[in-house]
Amino acid sequence: MEGSDFNKITGFDWDSGNIDKNWEKHRVMFWESEEIFGNEPLIVQSDETHSQSEETRYYALGRTNQDRLLFVAFTIRIGRIRVISARPMSQKEKTIYQKQYEKK
């Protein structure tokens, strides 16, 4: 990950509002969302469509330790990644990710 927002990350921001939401909706555990940020390749892009003036949103395409391919939408709050949504990658996202994976 590049950029000034990512240089100061100290961990993840979980609370009762977001820790179980992705399991209930998409069967993705919170710790799986965290794992992708430690594995390569990791594709991170800003999400201009969903960003608000006071908070930039990002999305990441990555791989868990068990090779599960995930799409994670997130923001950065006070130096921590706050996951907004995590789900399995779509077929289109898998194709994009696999092309990047072949480069590594």
Q: What is the pLDDT of residue 37?
A: 95
Q: How confident is the model over 56-79, as pLDDT tens digits?
A: 899 999 999 999 999 999 999 889
The pTM score is 0.87
Give me 85's structure tokens.
């949504």
Q: What is the pLDDT of residue 60?
A: 96
Contact 77, 83 (CB under 8 A): no
Residues 6+ apart with CB under 8 A from 41: 62, 63, 97, 100, 101, 103, 104
